[in-house]
A and B are shown apart, each in its own frame.
Chain A
Amino acid sequence: MGASDWQSLDKGSELHGQTRVMTAERLRWYGDGLLTSSAGAPTEVGINIHTDDAYAQAEGLPAAIADGMLGANWLAEMLLDYFGEYYLTTSRLRVKFIKPVFVGQQMSPRGVVSEVIREEERSIFQIELSLTDEEGTPRTVGEASVTVPNPATA
């Protein structure tokens, strides 16, 4: 995939991201990254519903669950792969974490272009998004829009 792949997209086009397995290490990496970014200094995540089964069970969950933002970021990565800087400059990403994701589950980011609004100087791509498990069940769903300048005006 390249940063200009959006030029080949049209209504109905499918987007595919990298399939990953949710691991305990990935949950820690996310926790550390979120807290470090928040604190502005290296910070390690402690025990919580994302890192500790017993803590999660005390909160009524069957086991530790992934932070939804991990999957949201894998969807964002897919948009960045296809749209490059245009995803970073003018876009919207809206996702809902409709089912929990557990360690060991395989997650695949997918998208389908639902509409392309062509204007004189720009095109707005609207994309339906999902993050599905190995059985194809959506665990995160949502939509995105990315605005790109038309080639003549880019």
Chain B
Amino acid sequence: MLDGYISDLEKGDVFRPTEFEVTSLMATQYAHGVEQTHEFFHSANNSLSRQVRPITAVHADKMKLLDANCLKEQRITGGRGPDWRIHFEHDAESIEPVFVGDTIRVSGRIADRYWKRGREYLLYEIEVHHADGRLLIRYRDRTLLRYRKNEETE
């Protein structure tokens, strides 16, 4: 179910897409946060001649998508839900780089919600397209809804 907490999301939910321009701040501050000093992320003075956003920043796209679709738990502005989730799997395929100045459209859905060994998981499938329609990143993300095990489901 959209518009509630992240823990309200269900298999089959389709997110309302979010579209925005990638800024230098978005690229550099993500890169700073993980100590990536390659010039690719900080200026256009590199072999691609354009400033690139780290591929792994697709994780930030997921955050934006969740903020736009889980209105009771907008974590970017400090909101929180009943439990803190644990990121378990990151799977990002880069088809083309995301450059600073690009307008991108992030879409996605909940591909699965299931229990395994006493813990409940969400599987996200997210795509990042350029505003002109080109697919840039295909992303799958698996997250535990809470760390504590539910012994009854083991």
What residues of chain A have their CB less than 8 Å away from a CB belonging to chain B?
3, 20, 26, 29-43, 46, 48-49, 55, 59-61, 67-70, 72-74, 76-77, 80, 84-85, 87-97
Contacts and interface: CB of A to CB of B under 8 A. Distances in A.
B120 to A, nearest CB: 14
Interface centre among B25, B35, B142 (most CB of A within 10 A): B35
A59 B34 CA distance: 25
B32 interface: yes
A54 to B, nearest CB: 13
Interface of B: 20, 23, 25-27, 29-36, 38, 40, 46-48, 52, 54-57, 59-60, 63-64, 67, 76-78, 80, 83-84, 86-97, 142, 146-148
A76 B56 contact: yes
A49 B148 CA distance: 13
B40 A85 contact: yes
8 contacts: A3-B47, A36-B29, A37-B25, A59-B83, A59-B146, A68-B87, A69-B59, A88-B40
Contacts of A73: 34, 36, 54, 56
A97 B88 contact: yes
Given A59-B84, A85-B40, A33 B30 contact: yes
A95 B142 CA distance: 10
Given A37-B57, A40-B26, A88-B97, 13 more contacts: A33-B33, A34-B30, A34-B60, A36-B25, A36-B26, A36-B30, A42-B29, A48-B80, A68-B90, A69-B56, A69-B87, A76-B55, A80-B38
B34 A74 contact: yes
Contacts, number: 143
A38 B34 CA distance: 15
Contacts of B31: 33
Nearest to A26: B35
Contacts of B63: 34-35, 38
A99 to B, nearest CB: 11
A35 to B, nearest CB: 6
Contact of B60 (A37, A80, A89): A37
Contact of B87 (A31, A46, A67): A67
A76 B148 CA distance: 30
A65 to B, nearest CB: 8
Point out which of A20, A40, A48 has the most chain B C-beta atoms below 10 A from its C-beta.
Answer: A40
Nearest to B59: A69
Nearest to B52: A88
A84 B47 contact: yes
Contacts of B147: 49, 59-61
Contact of B29 (A32, A59, A85, A87): A32
Given A37-B26, A88-B97, A96 B76 contact: no
